Amino acid sequence: MNRNMRLLAGLALIPFVVTACGGGSGDSESGGAAKGTVNYWLWDANQQPVYEKCATDFHAKNPAITVKVTQKGWDDYWSGITTGMVSGTAPDVFTDHLAKFPDYMNKKQILPLDEFIEKDKIDTTIYEDGLAELWVGNDGKRYGLPKDWDTIALFYNKKLTDAAGLTPEQMGALAWNPTDGGTYEKAIAHLTVDKNGKRGDEAGFDKTKVKTYGLWMEGSGTGPGQTQWSMYTATTDWQFTDKNPWGTKYNYADPKFVETIKWWKGLADKGYMPSFKAQKGAQWSDQLAAGNVAMATNGSWMIGAVFGTKGITPAVAPTPIGPNGKRASMFNGLSDSIYAGTKNKTAAWEWVKYLASPACQDVVADAAVVFPAIKTSVPIAEAKFKEKNIDVSAFTVHLKDKTTFLFPITDHGADVEAIMQPAMDAAMTGTVDAAALVAANNQVNALFAQ
Amino acid sequence: MTNLAEAPAQAAAAPPTHRADAGAPRISVGRVLAWVVLILFILITLFPFYWMLRTALSNNRTLFAHSSSWLPVDFTWGAFKRVLGLSSFAEAQAEGGSGGSIQFWLYLRNSIIVSTAITVGQVFFSALAAYAFARLRWPGRDKVFFLFLCALMVPPIFTMLPNFVLVKDLGLLNTFPGIVAPYFFMTPFAVFFLRQFFLGVNREIEEAAMLDGAGHLTLFFRIILPLSSAPITTLGILTFINAWNEYFWPSLVGQEENVRVLTVALSIFKSQTPQGTPDWAGLMAGTLVAAVPVILLFLAFGRRIVNSIQFSGIK
Amino acid sequence: MAVEASPPLHRASMRGGRREAGVALLFLSPALLGFLVFFLWPTLRGFYLSLTEYSLLQPPEFIGLGNYQELVKDPQFWNSLKVTLEYVFINIGLQTTLALGLAVLLHRLTASTLLRGVVLLPYLIANVVVALLWYWMADYNLGVLNQVLGWLHISPIAFFGDSNLAIPTIAFVNVWRHLGYTALLIFAGLQTIPKDVYEAASMDGATEWQTFRRITMPLLRPVLFLVLMLTVIGSWQIFDTVAVTTRGGPVNATRVIQYYIYDRAFTRYDFGYASALSVVLFFILAGVAFAQFRLMRADESDLG
């Protein structure tokens, strides 16, 4: 038995990654005409029918290529992609996310598209400004073509704002500052109601027995604070990193950042927003539906869920105007990337090209689930939302006014997140401790010093 | 506490006819108290099931507007229709449900195939191994057994990736053998469990049979297996339940529809987007429907398991 | 009872040892195949990978004991160990006590198969669904549990959101799912205790509590050992419930070791380090199991 054990131990030394290395090597069939099957993955079940329609249309135009659309929920999706990459079986084309793409790029798991783009003369200026550049790596190469975008706005329950005497016009003109919170905080306080019916700005308000919160907190926001605090911090002219994309120094220690978080946490201390422990559980949209909260900042991808809810009157206002006199919203988007290990590069590219073309994005726009990336497709989506009686101007205003900023794209994304999640959670559970944020920031920046 | 001990367990089965024991009335205080505690246990066990049923019969769109309602909110069979693949995308969306297409009967068939294969293979091969550990004498037996036990402690993260690569290299991705393979030959639990029982089987019968010239195969099939039918049934049911609920592995290996199992198909009702909310009604309806076959199985064999597990073998 | 004298050596054992080895190999071969391919091989591979820097998507690079040196200094690792230990103690303590109570109640009160079946129901529901369901029922603002507490004039409790309560809550959720299963195992053990022992005790005027302490507990010990053996190791592997509810938070209050391993391996692509964590976990579990095994042996003369 001892000998066998040694033999087995020897075998164990042969890593199994041999298959995974196939990705970068030469592609024998890249010269031939595109044909065969392309496996395509996405995670949003609501969008699956739309992309299946795109796939059918695509097949009609390119009968030699069949696209197989597979949907997997968020968590399974990424573990599936990773396992697939390790074993060389990842889908040929998949929906990519900004938080994941730098890792895949650095590890050479996705293909640069420049050659194809050049060959087929793709115009990357047809997309909303800045979207295409999100997918350019720090090596200057392009790793995806944009498919959609999202911005942040203030969802609210119109029944509750009506009862509080706040008009939609007022809701659309709220202003915020980190010192006293401005008209924004006044509205939040007024919308907060305790069990005895006292409003947050009335004498005798009991902050320990809140029935309806003015504003919802959806977790601490961890590193990017996309739907939690980034629309405030950006109006103080605070930036995540020294440059974006591909910054190498984070600014979580900046007093402007700390001040904003202190104000935000203050809302919870005053009882206008649930405390960190009270918000843990059901989703904010469910809390909105249950009448437990009047307003919540969140992204355009939630339009469908919120406006589909019965029993409340949903409405949307733009995010508040900040100290710099402007609004701000993170501008984020998804793209389609090609797996480096695909056995069918040319067909995969044909499909990516089609996904990023008006032919498919108009179909996406028509479904009015998300905003398509192509400028000329956006009005179609707007019109479709209007048909459903949903005013989406609170989301599009940021594009018109150019008040968007980008998701911080850097290396070490997952490690930054692993440091900032507990740090921000701690800030929101206890007190916002400037020193602790400085320490976390140092830890984050140390990642880039290596 | 009074002496409950005077009322043997069987008395409860026939309450009207007290046994001749004296003191039946005296017992009542402690007994009532004990019953109250037991009923409390049962209630805590059952309440979440009621909540699942109530949610499954609700409309997602209005569910949270009436989150404090103890009755189904805006009663509908919609969630069950979604689970059984009977509703269109538009209908599903109208009730706030997930719109994935579900070929329920196909996935049910796949689940039955996978779970049955795993159960039969695992129980049979583990029983063979357990026999070797419990009844045969060979050098290094206890060491090998401990090694087997160690497999219980292997973190799943170790096994998942290599097994996936192996299954892929064998060309078994998206096949039933691929899904079944890692569970087919043994699990440490099954071997451990059965070994405990085999140890307890009376050796005299065995030795008598041996004197009659029976070999180990005959002993195993004619004596050990029949005598251990209760624990084997128990293990079979437990294995089946676990196989039935297995999710992560089949979701990796069995993507294709022709081998996709129910748990993987029903995961469409879990939240699909990073901050999304599940299709609660669909998830609960799916869970209840998926539990039905196991409950049927339990009804068929339950009495057998519950009444006849004999731990005489624990040593 | 269970304690039976060690079986006498087979008459043929001197010569039979060798012959039985062949038969044993025959009986063992299918299980051995599964064991070698699906358990031993990946484990050995994992041991090797723990000595490498391996990002999953690039070939591993041998770095000796580097991961282990980092591990010793990693506060997250020590925290995860502490949190997991806390979970195991609460989970096992609660589960064993309640299961014992439930088993004794079932044994002494009723012969109803239906009731015994009912207690097993939660086990039929997948882990993840059980976790989601309780996460929702225990919600601070709209959960039914806090609604009931409200009727009793108790202010709402943040079961999952309070760092002090999150681990006990998760432990409770898993107790709910496994209670019936554990109780039935114990119940099976209770059935092996001969009825006349109880009858004799009641003749002697023993109270129910005395009967429990002097008769039930000692005679049940082997079964309890078996149950503990199986549940303790499973308890250390807690992952699903955390993954779908608290995801390690609030702050780090529920970052149990399996979750930390998963996070390092699949979110941060640090598979080498995750393997080192797994190796440490493996040895801890092996140690725990070995200790239990020894205790069981000490208690029972002829185990294996």
> Which ipTM score applies to this complex?
0.85
Which chain A residues contact residue B62 at CB under 8 A? 309-311
Which member of B61, B93, B160 has the closest CB to residue A309? B61
Predicted confidence at residue C304, as pLDDT, reads 34
B6 pLDDT exceeds 50? Answer: no
Indicate which of C125, C140, C273, C301 best probes the interface with B, i.e. most B CBs within 10 Å of its own CB: C125
**Cα B156 from Cα B246, distance rounded (Å):** 13
Whole-angstrom CA distances from B276 to A92, A283, A292 are: 26, 7, 18
Q: What is the pLDDT of residue B23?
A: 41
Interatomic CA distance for residues B126 and A85, integer angstroms: 34
Q: What three-state secondary structure class fits B62?
A: helix
Statement: the pTM of the whole predicted model exceeds 0.95: no
The minimal CB distance from A311 to the residues B65, B99, B268 is found for: B65
Q: State yes or no: cis peptide before C156, omega within 30 of 0.
A: no
pLDDT band (50, 70, 90) for residue B83: confident
The model's confidence at residue B5, banded by pLDDT at 50, 70 and 90, is very low
Task: Give the percent of chain A with pLDDT over 70.
Answer: 92
**Which of C129, C215, C300 should be substituted to probe chain B, the one whose Cβ sees the most B Cβ atoms within 10 Å?**
C129
Least confident segment among A139-143, A424-428, B158-162, C149-153: B158-162
pLDDT band at B27 (very low <50, low <70, confident <90, very high): low
Closest CA to B271 of C151, A283, A209: A283
* Integer-rounded Cα radius of gyration of chain C: 24
Q: Do C163 and A421 touch (CB under 8 A)?
A: no
Provide the β-strand partners of residue C167: none
Residue B170 gets which letter from DSSP? T
- For helices C166-191 and C75-109, angle between their N-to-C axes, nearest 10 degrees: 40
Residue B312 confidence (pLDDT): 39
Give the pLDDT of residue A6.
42
Q: Could you tell me which residue, C196 or A381, shows the higher pLDDT?
A: A381
Q: Is the pLDDT of residue B96 over 80?
A: no
pLDDT band, very low/low/confident/very high, at B198 (cuts 50, 70, 90): confident
Banded model confidence at residue B267, pLDDT cuts 50, 70, 90: confident
Instruction: Report the mean per-residue pLDDT for chain A.
Output: 89
Helix (H, G, I), strand (E, B) or coil at B60: helix
Q: Residues of chain B whose C-beta is under 8 A from some C-beta in A?
A: 59, 61-67, 74, 89, 93, 96, 98-100, 140, 160-162, 164-165, 168-169, 173, 251-252, 255, 267-268, 270-277
pLDDT at C3 over 50: no
Distance of CA C213 to the CA centre of its chain: 25
Which residues in C lie closer than 8 A to residue B30 (C-beta atoms)?
208
CA–CA dist B130, B148 (Å, integer): 11
Q: In the numeric block, which tokens belong to residue C259?
A: 């979750």
Residue B234: the pLDDT is 80
Question: Over chain B, what is the mean pLDDT?
Answer: 81
Which C residues 253-292 touch A at CB under 8 Å?
263, 266-269
Interface test with B, best of A87, A92, A96, A303 (most B CBs within 10 A): A87
Q: How many helices (H) and strands (E) does chain B have?
A: 16, 0
Are A107 and C135 a contacting pair at CB < 8 A?
A: no
Pick the more confident residue, C141 or A67. Answer: A67
Q: In what order do the strands lie in the sheet with A152-157?
A: A193-194, A210-215, A293-299, A152-157, A314-317
Distance from CA of C229 to the nearest CA of A (A): 27
Per-residue pLDDT of A393-444, as tens digits, reads: 999 999 999 999 999 999 998 899 999 999 999 999 888 888 999 999 999 9
**C211 vs B5: CB contact, 8 Å cut-off?**
yes
Between CA A349 and CA A111 the distance in angstroms is 10
For residue A274, give both structure tokens. Answer: 């649930």
Identify the pLDDT of residue A25.
37
The token pair at A230 is: 């980034």
Nearest to C188 by CA among B200, B229, B311: B311
